[in-house]
Amino acid sequence: MLSRKAKAVFYYAAGPLMQINGLIYRHFRAPKKGELKVHLGPGQKNYLDGWVNVDANTFTGKCDVWADLRNPLPFRNETVDAMYSHHVIEHLPNIEHHFKEAHRCLKPGGVYRVGGPNGDSAIAKFVENDKQWFGDFPDKRDSIGGRFENFVFCRQEHLTILTYSYLEEVMGKAGFINLQQCKCVKETNHPEFFQECLSKESESDFDVPHTLIVEGAKPAKGV
Ligand SMILES: C[S@@+](CC[C@H](N)C(=O)[O-])C[C@H]1O[C@@H](n2cnc3c(N)ncnc32)[C@H](O)[C@@H]1O
């Protein structure tokens, strides 16, 4: 894992270039018509064919658009059919802004599947004192508190804790409807888009999942 300092230097140096690249893509290259599926933060291994994959890391991973997700998303208004992000938004400093941007880019009736570390499960497992559930990534920790801290903040890589009620509030305020929690790997309300994403997800505890997955839709015209 890149140190926090190295990451800060990277974003400081590359930030303006990513901003320009994102703006150029949005205004000159982003599709105006046709089906558009957007995958935010594919990372090193999760590139999805047939999707427009957006990431800041173009060095050890593969992406189609090099952009900083803290900026406005590099897509035109109401042009995206489906958006997918998995273990990405907890790295962003302002998820309210993120969901407003996702909502802006989605077509009416478009859908977003978003996943990240499951704060509800972590709190329950902390109260149960279940150290096994947490493991000891990224730092070796023996105590339940240390493991909980690992899970929630991941060596300060994560900037927020994701619980269902929090996502429901923030996504609802951004204008999303039909919000539903899904089981990682196994469940989607929109298989026409997200079936192929399920193979990229993993879960070792389906009763108390490590990943919180929520799907929501932008209201269709006239709703
Ligand atoms: C923990 S990885 C998750 C990768 C993959 N989605 C997965 O589930 O394994 C987080 C990804 O989000 C990307 N990311 C985090 N913050 C970002 C930002 N501000 N702009 C662009 N990409 C970002 C990282 O580069 C990385 O590829």
- Domains contained in the chain, CATH given: 4-118+162-217 (3.40.50.150)
Q: How confident is the model at residue 183 (pLDDT cuts 50, 70, 90)?
A: confident
The pLDDT value recorded for residue 4 is: 81
Check: pTM over 0.85? Answer yes or no. Answer: yes
pLDDT-derived band at 136, boundaries 50, 70, 90:
confident
Q: Tell me what the pLDDT averaged over the chain comes to.
A: 96
Question: How many A from CA of 41 to the centre of ligand 1?
Answer: 4
Query: Distance, CA 66 to ligand 1 centroid (Å)?
Result: 12
- Residue 6 burial (C-beta neighbours within 10 Å; 0-12, 13-18, 19+): exposed
Q: Which atom of ligand 1 is nearest to the CA of 115?
A: 8
Q: Which of 160, 153, 161, 214 is nearest to 184 (CA)?
A: 214
In the reported structure, the alpha carbon of residue 79 is separated from the centroid of ligand 1 by a whole-number distance in angstroms of 23
